[in-house]
């Protein structure tokens, strides 16, 4: 299977602009056909998907470029590749933990507001509770 830029754009939900931008950046460089049209291979598509996933969890294009270099080198740098992945995984896990913590805070706050809406009148106490008095850890 091979794709032209418009097709790949649809598949990856990246814009054509972005795809050309990635090419300029050396991150995703398709072959060209006789008419100089970009032809993305199946491999390119998978790599594009990978990019989308990784940047979706906060990996920078710079890091993706580094990863790409390693991945394409003949020197079998699998340990390095794994190290990058593990490092990023750790970051993502930390992010998840932080998000979950903040989710709890939000849920508490929401509950408090709802209680208040349902007639609790102790506004001062309420405000203190909701906006932080017992959410102060760290």
Contact between 26 and DNA (CB under 7 A)? no
Measured distance CA(98)–CA(130) in Å, rounded: 19
Q: How many CA atoms lie within 13 A of 62 on its CB side?
A: 0
Which of a copy of itself, DNA, none binds 4 (CB below 5-8 Å, type-dependent)? DNA
Contact between 85 and a copy of itself (CB under 8 A)? yes
Among 60, 102, 107, 134, binds DNA (CB under 7 A): 60
Contact between 114 and a copy of itself (CB under 8 A)? yes
Question: Which residues between 40 and 59 bind DNA (CB under 7 A)?
Answer: 55
Contact between 112 and DNA (CB under 7 A)? no
Contact between 31 and DNA (CB under 7 A)? no
The answer to whether 14 and 61 are in contact (CB under 8 A) is: no
Burial of residue 44 (number of CB atoms within 10 Å: 0-12, 13-18, 19+) = buried
68 Cβ contact partners less than 8 Å away, ≥ 6 residues apart: 26, 27, 47
The answer to whether 48 and 9 are in contact (CB under 8 A) is: no
Residue 40 main-chain phi, psi, to 5 deg: -90, 125
Contact between 102 and DNA (CB under 7 A)? no
Contact between 105 and a copy of itself (CB under 8 A)? yes
Residues that bind a copy of itself (CB under 8 A): 31, 42-43, 45-47, 49-50, 53-54, 56-57, 71, 78-79, 81-82, 85-86, 88-89, 92-93, 95-96, 98-100, 102-103, 105-107, 109-110, 113-114, 116-117, 128, 131-136, 138
């Amino acid at each position: 299977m091979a794709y032209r830029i418009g097709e790949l754009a649809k598949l990856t939900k990246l814009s054509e602009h972005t795809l050309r931008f990635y090419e300029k950046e050396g991150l995703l460089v398709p072959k060209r056909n006789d008419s100089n049209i970009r032809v993305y291979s199946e491999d390119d598509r998978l790599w594009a998907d990978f990019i989308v996933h990784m940047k979706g969890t906060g990996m920078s294009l710079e890091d993706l470029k580094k990863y790409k270099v390693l991945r394409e080198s003949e020197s079998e740098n699998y340990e390095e590749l794994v190290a990058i992945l593990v490092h990023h995984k750790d970051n993502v896990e930390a992010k998840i933990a932080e998000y979950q913590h903040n989710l709890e805070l939000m849920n508490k706050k929401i509950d408090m507001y709802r209680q208040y809406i349902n007639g609790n009148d102790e506004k001062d106490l309420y405000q203190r509770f909701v906006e932080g008095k017992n959410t102060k850890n760290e």
